[in-house]
Amino acid sequence: MKSEKLYDAITNISEENITRCDNAVKKMKKPSKKLWISWVAAMLVVAIVVGVVLWPGKDSIVISANAIFEAEYPDRSDLSYRPVNNELKECLSPFFNDFIARSLTGAGDENVLVSPLSVYMAMCILAESTSGESREQILDVLGYADKEILGLSQMELLRTSAKTIFNSVHNTHKSATRLLANSVWLDKSVEFNSSTMKTIADNFYTSSFSGNLGSDEMNKVAQSWLNENTKNILSEQIKDIELAPETLYAIMSTVYFKGS
């Protein structure tokens, strides 16, 4: 994986692209270079925290309520295999294979659990949230740069791929439950384009919330969302997860497995 490009894509978003942050642009420090992943047992919670947010478009609104959009997850209660198009497989394989190889290299005797799917979904959401060079760098890391498959543009391909993969994995059958969930968290000072938020909800099955990030109240809301989507299996670990007060935008992605 081109780690330098991924690093730049997440942290190097220019101030001119920020819609509004109550003059925080002038005051804010350089975004922290942090991509953190927590792996516990068979559940995984991923959060990518960045210092700024960009929503393409001119029309912006601020919603004071916590919930902006609620994702509607598909009810997949059958165990039938839902194949992924071969052309999409060829496009996706390099990222997943490289990510797994790099994540497990040097693990030795350690019992390592990694979910490339969670990282992939979070990066897709991040790509949808940006534009220009930042978006191009993310698309390059994911393997979509300069590609047109099935007659789709890069972003159309990204959305189609993410939706296809999500539906091929997500399953509510009681004997083989696989539940995926995503969420975006915005500080109340940030304006955003509502059509972009709806695109994220519809294509990446992502709920979105707005509030005073870093406050005790919002941390409890985020922890509650994580617990709900991992069936309280990670409650001891999740109680320590908090968003820093300077956070303006965060992505969380969960995977829950249960088999019998």
Query: In this predicted model, what pLDDT tens digit does every residue of 96-131 receive, in sequence order?
Result: 888 888 888 888 888 888 888 899 999 999 999 998
pLDDT-wise least confident of 58-72, 149-163, 232-246: 58-72
**pLDDT for residue 217:** 92
- Residue 12, pLDDT > 60, answer no
Rounded average pLDDT over 6-21 = 40
What dotted CATH number matches 3-259?
Answer: 3.30.497.10
Cα(166)–Cα(118) distance, integer angstroms: 10
By C-alpha distance, which of 178, 154, 175, 183 is closest to 167?
178
pLDDT of residue 106: 83
Q: What pLDDT sits at residue 92?
A: 80
Q: Which helix (H) or strand (E) holds 168?
A: helix 154-169
- pLDDT of 74: 76
Give the pLDDT score at 184.
96
Q: Detail the DSSP E strand segments found in 51-134.
A: 67-69
Task: Express each pLDDT in 177-225 by its tens digit.
Answer: 889 999 999 999 988 889 999 999 999 999 999 999 999 999 999 999 9
Closest CA to 215 of 61, 6, 15, 66: 66
